[in-house]
Amino acid sequence: MDLQTADILVKIVAGSVTAATAVFGVLKGLSEWRKATQQRRDELALRQREFRHKQAIFGRELAKEVFADPKSRDALRMLDWLDTSYHDDSDNVLRIRRADVQNAMRTVNLTFTDEEVFIRTRFESLYDHFEQMEHLISLNVIDFTDVETAFRYYVHRAMQPDIQHLGFLDMYDYPQAKAFLQRFRKKQ
């Protein structure tokens, strides 16, 4: 073999080795890129699950706050019972019927009895909580499904024809509470 042929052969072999190395490098790079992309997807999925868990726990805590608040709890009881007794802030016993609730939530003739003031303050407390929940739902801080079960029964009772709270919510500027209540209508 002459020198020129040997030189060409060396160049071909070197070029082939360089090309193979480049192809191998590209394939290895693509493989590493795929692994890194999959790892990022897995990390993102994990973070999303962790965030969702935190949302659910926070939603549960908010629901527990409503039930722990004595005023809100009284309002929920008024929605649940047709006729029951309550203790006001002075420890007087008040007997409240479902019809009393509707009358107390009126938006005209705004002179109220002590019993009606008791009812209204209880529902104002409940609707303050609903305002906060709807705001947090709209910001995706909590998910509606995390609080829906806790309040579905009570909201359906509040939306019955014999108790119409939407006028009260409009009159006293509770747009978020109204939106929260109306979410349950959409789910029916």
Question: pLDDT tens digits, residue range 1-43?
Answer: 677 777 777 777 777 778 778 777 777 878 888 887 888 988 9
CA distance 152 to 150: 6
Q: What is the pLDDT of residue 187?
A: 63
CA distance 73 to 145: 21
| Inter-residue contact 129 to 66 (CB < 8 Å) | yes
Q: What is the pLDDT of residue 60?
A: 96
Burial of 6 (0-12, 13-18, 19+ CB in 10 A): exposed
| Inter-residue contact 127 to 157 (CB < 8 Å) | no
Q: What is the pLDDT of residue 159?
A: 86
CA distance 20 to 140: 52
Write down the domain spans for the chain: 58-187
- Return the structure tokens found at 81: 């019972």
Helix (H), strand (E), coil (C) string for the chain: CCHHHHHHHHHHHHHHHHHHHHHHHHHHHHHHHHHHHHHHHHHHHHHHHHHHHHHHHHHHHHHHHHHHCHHHHHHHHHHHCCEEEEECCCCCEEEEEHHHHHHHCCCCCCCCCHHHHHHHHHHHHHHHHHHHHHHHHHCCCCCCHHHHHHHHHHHHHHCCCCCCCHHHHHHCCCHHHHHHHHHHHHHC
Which residues are bridge partners to 94 per DSSP?
86
Tell me, what amino acid is at 43? E
Q: What is the mean pLDDT of residues 39-67?
A: 92
Question: pLDDT tens digits, residue range 97-151?
Answer: 988 998 999 988 999 999 999 999 999 999 999 999 999 999 999 999 999 999 9
